[in-house]
Amino acid sequence: MSESHPILLSALTGFFFGLLLSMPIGPVNLTIINGAAQRGFKYAALIGLGAATMDVIYCTIAFTGFSSFFGIRLVKTSMEVFTFVFMLFLGIKFLTAKTVVAPTQLGDTASRIEKRIDEKFHPHSAFMTGFVRVMGNLGVLLFWIVLAANLLSRDWVDDTPAGKSACIACVALGAITWFCALSYYVARRGYGRFSEKTLLRMERFSGICLLGIGLFDGANIAWKLAQHRM
């Protein structure tokens, strides 16, 4: 499939990860849930559209700004190992979460930067609220940089302008699909349907998926080492 339909594979990969990475419960999803419960579907969907827009900007930076760097053999190999560790780390973090928190925060420094961005832009519209929530979370950019290196190295995303564009466009589609579905469900059913236990289950599902990807990466690295020794 990757040889005969590289653009289709790039698009499907983008949609899958756009959907998966939008699911963990953090500031954006909590803001959407509150917005949908208090002000309805349209308001919450605009928050999601703003968040998806900034997410796509970070995704575009990762795929276009670092592609030549990822082509270096040593960097490519190092990023594969780092991605394996990073996926396991995030998967375990999501899976063992005890409370609903932002899972991609990078510590106190990143939190201060997020707070400054929020204070500087002080969003007044639903769209800008979602946009700024993602802009301030530098963990999202880091995640896309690591993920872009991994997807390009495995040829899940075709390393051409068309392949990258298809992936990025479908990342947007996947993120918007999740945010709109969440907005519609909460606006229709009400906030009470989302207990903390339900939210944690959603986050843990993302953790299971990320652990699966990490274990797949680990198996692939082990296979390459075994082949090299033979």
Q: What's at 228, amino acid-wise?
A: H
pLDDT at 72 over 80: no
Encode pLDDT of 146-182 as tens digits. Answer: 888 888 877 889 888 999 999 999 999 999 999 999 8
Question: What does the pLDDT average to over 72-85?
Answer: 70
167 CB contacts (<8 Å, ≥6 apart)? 10, 11, 13, 14, 63, 151, 157
Separation between Cα atoms, residue 146 and residue 70, nearest integer Å = 10
- 66: pLDDT strictly greater than 90: no
Report H helices in 21-100: 27-39, 41-65, 67-70, 73-95
User: What is this structure's pTM?
Assistant: 0.73
13-50: pLDDT as tens digits: 999 999 988 887 777 888 888 888 888 899 999 999 99
Confidence of residue 68 (pLDDT cuts 50, 70, 90): low
Q: Give tens-digit pLDDT for 81-131.
A: 777 777 787 778 777 776 655 444 444 444 454 455 455 555 678 898 889
Provide CB contacts within 8 A for 51, sequence distance 6+. Answer: 22, 28, 32, 130, 131, 133, 134, 175, 179
Distances (CA, A) of 73 to 69, 77, 223: 9, 6, 18
